[in-house]
């Protein structure tokens, strides 16, 4: 069985794997308690990062910064 590392688990979470790789990771999660625990930990972090709202600078941000630099 291929070594399921955190990089591969993250790619699985980000849906960046082909069908064969997805099946391999899914099977490993189902059959290995260690892989399942690592997957669940990464899933929590993944969900936390996805729940954070990205703040956008104000429309006149560039103008304000440029005025302060002058």
The confidence score (pLDDT) of residue 3 equals 87
The confidence score (pLDDT) of residue 29 equals 97
The residue segments making up the domain with residue 10 are 6-69
The confidence score (pLDDT) of residue 35 equals 96
**Domain annotation covers residue 28:** yes
Condensed to tens digits (0 to 9), the pLDDT of residues 14-64 reads 999 999 999 999 999 999 999 999 999 999 999 999 899 888 888 898 888
Q: Is the pLDDT of residue 7 over 90?
A: yes
Query: DSSP letters along the chain, please?
Result: -----HHHHHHHHTT-S-HHHHHHHHHHHHH-HHHHHHHHHHHHHHHHHHHSPPP---TTHHHHHHHHH-
Domain count within the chain? 1
**Domain annotation covers residue 1:** no
Residue 64: Cβ-neighbour burial (10 angstroms; 0-12, 13-18, 19+): exposed
The confidence score (pLDDT) of residue 20 equals 96
**Domain annotation covers residue 64:** yes
**Domain annotation covers residue 26:** yes
Cβ proximity of 12 and 5 under 8 Å: no
């Amino acid at each position: 069985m291929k070594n399921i590392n955190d990089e591969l688990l993250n790619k699985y979470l980000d849906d960046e794997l082909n069908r064969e790789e997805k099946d391999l990771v899914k099977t490993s999660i189902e059959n290995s308690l260690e892989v399942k625990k690592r997957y669940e930990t990464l899933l929590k972090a993944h969900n936390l990062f996805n729940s954070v709202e990205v703040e956008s600078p104000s429309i006149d941000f560039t103008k304000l910064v440029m005025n302060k630099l002058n």
